[in-house]
Structure 1
Amino acid sequence: MFYTTKYKHKLLEKIKELEDQDEIINTCEITQDGEICRLNYSIKPFEIDTIETFAQVICDIVQTEGIIQVTKDFLMQRKDLLPTDKKEIKRKFVTNNYLAVQEGFSALTYYLVYMPLLEALKENQEINIDGWLRFRTYRYKVILADILEQFVEDYLLKKDIIKFIKMVKEMSPLNNPLEDVIHLIYKKNGEMSLHNEYMEEVTELYTKAYCEELLGESSFNKEDLIMNILITICPRRIIVHQRQRAKYPQFIKTLEGIFGINMRYCKGCENCTDNASTIKS
């Protein structure tokens, strides 16, 4: 039997999903006693698959609410954050740390939420969802709070870096862009190359012109060099080809933050084919 006062609708929604998928059949009886919603289910001792299914249902609710509670409590204490930053941090953190049942569990959720729930169901087949979330998830929430703290610091650092790069870009003495259009093309192996509006490769040309002093620095990778080139030549438009091949998708997100509406994504052209003979080197 499950009890809940706060999460009735979420519980019923998930049970309905399982019934629609034929994961559970004629095992549930739902009753209402004041604010308390009771879900009675009939499971034979050997029906381990059904017990695991119910454990996943409760785990999904506990995981979701746990992440939301930790995020809300943590951000309320951060008076230094802007409301817009808090909203964005909450959205990203919940998205990054929540995994639905069908997607599998993170190690954190598996060992600190799912397994204890599964063992409890095997022993007495009775769970108070509200009480479990309040009293049985302390370690889970502490670790989530630590993860969130680092997440916020990374978010603020990235924001500061983008703000600084934008400032450098705006202060650039190059009032007239060196290129109207730059094509950023990802190759099969995930490597990048830059091409001008005539599809002539200019990666080496601009690397020698603006990145020669950086080539000997071990801390700079190809993404850093490309970023330096793009900020320096400041093209009016950047067209990204084959973005799905990117080794580091976050690099594209950073470019979006810097160049904004000047970024475009190719939806398919002759230069995106594997044997693009039209690309000049």
Structure 2
Amino acid sequence: MIHEFHITTASNNTNGLLTDLKQRAKWIHQQGYTISVNIDQKQVSGIEELVVKLQGSQFGQVFRDEDILCVFKHQIAEVIAEHILTQWEGKLIWKEINRTARTLSEEEKQLIYDKTVEFLHACQDNEKLNRLLYFGRKSRIANRVLEYINENNFLLVEGFITFCLRDYLTEIKFAVEIACEELRSEKEYNDFVTLLRFYVETQTPKILEVNVLMTSNNFFYLWDGNGMKIDDSYMDYYINEMKFNEINFDDVLISILITIAPRRIILHNSGDINRQPIQTILKVFNDRIKICSGCFQCHHILNNGFQQ
């Protein structure tokens, strides 16, 4: 039996293909068959054709030629799927970015690229789940490749992606769109924070020092530098707003602090410093912030509530 298959791809992407093919050929070699790979440099610049040839015949053995050929095609499909994900996906992302976000700066495009890769490969905190999602994408591509090579002995990788992997390209397009939207939201958020910072810096403080303690259920306590509870009048307006508008306790806290514009804010029981309200407070008030690592007042309020 002799079976030959041709793979044409970008010449700077063939090393991984060759390595993967050699690794996957071991089992077939053990069955008495050989797989050879020859590289044909095409006249078109940057293009190489890999000629993969399966040879051998083992009459009377456990596996028939048809079985070996089936395994061979499955291995080719797996190799090409891995090749597309590792060598072509980055190019496809950049192509989509340059199409949909061509007016952005190179720095912004790089941010979109990084976010897109993160969405495609690390959309979950669970590493095992991310790996499972990756193998799911790879499996879908490999199945499509297998369908194709069962009918054809030649595959041009770029053309195959363009015409046979429309769902995969749509997935990349969707990830780029999400990344663009997130970048846009981040820019709007940063502009908003800059505006708030300017406002705070131009205001006369109503209270010089404000202590903030946030609980695990997103409630908060406020008191001044003398240990006195902050006047409820600052809170009443925003609490009433919560009844009629879609604002939460985090928004209320930030609004109160901006209204008071204190010279110093002490954050108690801050816990996860990366929480959105804490990050916003840190960015708006900047060097006015002091983080309490734990004090008597923290423990007392958490255990007994606020008492004057």
TM-score (norm: length of structure 2): 0.58
The worse-fitting range, judged by mean Cα deviation, of 219-228 and 115-124 is: 115-124
Residue in structure 2 matched with residue 241 of structure 1 by the alignment:
270
SS in 1 for 2:244: coil
Query: Tell me, which stretches of 5 or more residues in structure 1 are unaligned?
Result: none
In the alignment, which of 198, 203, 221 is matched to residue 170 of structure 1?
198
Is the Cα–Cα contact under 8 Å of residues 195 and 203 in structure 1 kept in the other structure?
A: yes
Residue in structure 1 matched with residue 248 of structure 2 by the alignment:
221
The worse-fitting range, judged by mean Cα deviation, of 255-264 and 151-160 is: 255-264
Residue in structure 2 matched with residue 11 of structure 1 by the alignment:
16
The worse-fitting range, judged by mean Cα deviation, of 89-98 and 250-259 is: 250-259
Any residues of structure 2 matched to 1:1-281 within 5 Å, and which? 2-6=7-11, 8=13, 11=16, 15=20, 24=24, 26=26, 31-34=38-41, 35-36=47-48, 38=50, 40=52, 44=68, 45=70, 54=79, 57-61=82-86, 62-76=88-102, 78=103, 81-99=104-122, 103-104=130-131, 110=136, 114-121=139-146, 124=149, 127-142=155-170, 144-145=172-173, 148-149=176-177, 151-172=179-200, 173-176=202-205, 178=207, 180=209, 182-183=211-212, 185=214, 187=216, 191=218, 193=220, 208=235, 211-234=238-261, 236=264, 239=267, 241-243=270-272, 249=275, 254=280, 258-259=284-285, 269-270=293-294, 276=299, 279=302, 281=306
Q: C-alpha distance in 1, partners of 2:256/2:266?
A: 12
State the structure with more CA Rg: 2
Query: Tell me, which stretches of 5 or more residues in structure 2 are unaligned?
Result: 28-34, 42-46, 55-66
Q: C-alpha distance in 2, partners of 1:7/1:184?
A: 57
Letter in 1 for 2:244: E
TM-score (norm: length of structure 1): 0.62
Is the alpha carbon distance of 1:136 and 1:221 closer, same or farther for their aligned partners in structure 2, counting shifts above 3 Å? same
Letter in 2 for 1:129: V
Aligned length, in residue pairs:
261
Is the Cα–Cα contact under 8 Å of residues 180 and 237 in structure 1 kept in the other structure?
A: yes
Is the alpha carbon distance of 1:228 and 1:50 closer, same or farther for their aligned partners in structure 2, counting shifts above 3 Å? farther
Q: C-alpha distance in 2, partners of 1:278/1:214?
A: 26
> RMSD value over aligned CA atoms?
5.0
Q: C-alpha distance in 1, partners of 2:289/2:51?
A: 52
Q: C-alpha distance in 2, partners of 1:117/1:65?
A: 19
Letter in 1 for 2:10: T
Q: C-alpha distance in 2, partners of 1:222/1:10?
A: 55
Letter in 2 for 1:171: Y
Letter in 1 for 2:116: F
Is the Cα–Cα contact under 8 Å of residues 239 and 252 in structure 2 kept in the other structure?
A: no
Q: Deviations over 1:11-50 (max 9, x none)?
A: 359849x96xxxx573686653325263859794369996
Q: C-alpha distance in 2, partners of 1:71/1:165?
A: 27
Letter in 2 for 1:115: R
Percent identity, aligned pairs only?
14
